[in-house]
Copies of this chain bind each other. A is one copy, B any other.
Amino acid sequence: MSYSEISGGVTAAQDFLAGSAYCGIKASNADRPDIALIQSVRESVAAATFTTNKVKAAPVRVSMMHLRGGDVRAILANAGNANACTGLLGIENAKRMAEAAGQALGLKARQVMVCSTGRIGVQLPIEKMEGTIAALPAGLAKDGSNRAAQAIMTSDTFAKEMAVEVEIDGKAVRIGGVAKGAGMIDPNMATMLCFITTDAVIDKKQLQCALSVSVEQSFNRITVDGDMSTNDTVIMLANGAAGNKPLRHGRPGFKVFQRALDHVTKHLARMIVEDGEGVTKFVEVHVNGAATLSDARRAAEAVANSTLTKCAWFGGDPNWGRIMDALGYSGAKLREEMIDIFYDGIIAVRGGMPSKTPMAKLQEVVANKRFTVTIDLHLGKADYTVFTTDLSTDYVRLNMGE
């Protein structure tokens, strides 16, 4: 029932290749590769989750269409230009990206999912990109995961890769991925991209089910500034190379697969939060005892996004008053006199009032780079967790624009 972490990232699974190329789209760091390609060398199915933002980048709209087809085989992504707010020409260019990759790999355009991240409101240098994409397949390799992870970085300070191996009915199944940071610190747009591959035998519908559940537990739980990108995308490919019995929800193997996938997505999600520029503290906000799940979620997200609370954390101030305040306006059902608040398990608020804990003990906790805030509403059994950060002067500086 247990999985083990392995190396290899998005190419850890059998019969997946990855690579990158330099096209000069990243104005800022012209020396770094800016196009990544991930391919399954055998038939595969895809699942994906996309931003719920109503303003969607062109590649998101195109990939949503391509997902409908049953036989996606590759993922093409560029950094440096988000191809968002680019109108019909932007859609046309996103399609040309898929066509170029399809031609180069001998696939149909609809078998390629496309992603972009970076500046918005600027058209892609599509001709230049088509030339670069044509040459990409030659560089695809079994050990190409790190190159792909590097290519999709914008303001990220390190490449994000993760892979696990798990045994399912006697067969070794691998799940691995790469991700780029929520560029809440990117001067132009906050974008999170994650590409996951697996050699498990699983059909498209079951894969979508597993991915949706996993994203809800991971990428949907991270917040840095509450802003949501026009480009956020998570794509997963499964090519069945492992030869296990087809995974089906409800059967034992599925649980094992889900747990392993959750480990990959949670790990990548944490890396994204921890790598936020201007972030000095990583905070887990747990809400317990809520009347309903949506109450728990509202409460946790209000605290995790409270500007005042995040500023206090940056200053090492265990300001539980601001947490009480955020809970109060969260819209969650609560009774002030029943609220308990803990910092790393040390009680700060009991029954809605300050505990006897000396402030110095709470300050010790908030002085750490990582700590947990637990809120118990004592109204029910629902709980929810959000991974968040502090709000630092550097965050503001990094977001002041060019």
List residues of chain B with CB within 8 A of the CB of A327.
54-55
| Given A352-B85, A354-B85, residue A325 in contact with residue B396 (CB < 8 A) | no
The answer to whether B121 touches A320, judged by C-beta atoms less than 8 angstroms apart, is: yes
The answer to whether B307 touches A226, judged by C-beta atoms less than 8 angstroms apart, is: yes
Can you tell how many copies of this chain the complex includes? 2
| Given A316-B401, A317-B401, A352-B85, residue A325 in contact with residue B121 (CB < 8 A) | no
| Given A85-B352, A307-B307, A322-B189, residue A53 in contact with residue B329 (CB < 8 A) | yes
Distance in Å from the Cβ of A122 to the closest Cβ of chain B? Answer: 8
List residues of chain B with CB within 8 A of the CB of A85.
321, 324, 336, 349, 352-354
The answer to whether A308 touches B399, judged by C-beta atoms less than 8 angstroms apart, is: yes
Q: How many Å lie between the Cα of A49 and that of B352 in the bound state?
A: 24
A 359-386 to B, binary, CB cutoff 8 A, 1 in contact else 0:
0000000000000000000000000000
Within 8 A of B (CB), among A330-368: 334, 336-337, 349, 351-354
Q: How many Å lie between the Cα of A12 and that of B321 in the bound state?
A: 37
Closest B residue to A306 by CB, please name it: B227
Does A44 interact with chain B (Cβ within 8 Å)? no
List residues of chain B with CB within 8 A of the CB of A392.
396
List residues of chain B with CB within 8 A of the CB of A397.
393
| Given A85-B352, A190-B308, A391-B396, residue A55 in contact with residue B401 (CB < 8 A) | no
Within 8 A of B (CB), among A46-99: 52-56, 84-87
Closest B residue to A228 by CB, please name it: B329
Does A195 interact with chain B (Cβ within 8 Å)? no
The count of chain A contact residues (Cβ–Cβ below 8 Å) is 61
**Known A54-B329, A121-B320, A316-B400; 12 more pairs at CB < 8 Å:** A55-B327, A56-B328, A84-B321, A85-B349, A85-B352, A85-B353, A187-B319, A188-B321, A226-B307, A315-B399, A317-B401, A392-B396
18 of the cross-chain contacts (CB-CB < 8 Å) are A53-B325, A55-B325, A55-B327, A56-B328, A84-B321, A86-B353, A121-B349, A121-B353, A121-B354, A188-B319, A190-B308, A225-B308, A227-B326, A228-B328, A311-B399, A311-B400, A312-B400, A315-B399
Q: Which residues of A contact B (CB under 8 A)?
A: 52-56, 84-87, 120-122, 184, 187-190, 225-230, 305-308, 311-312, 314-317, 319-322, 324-329, 334, 336-337, 349, 351-354, 391-393, 395-397, 399-402
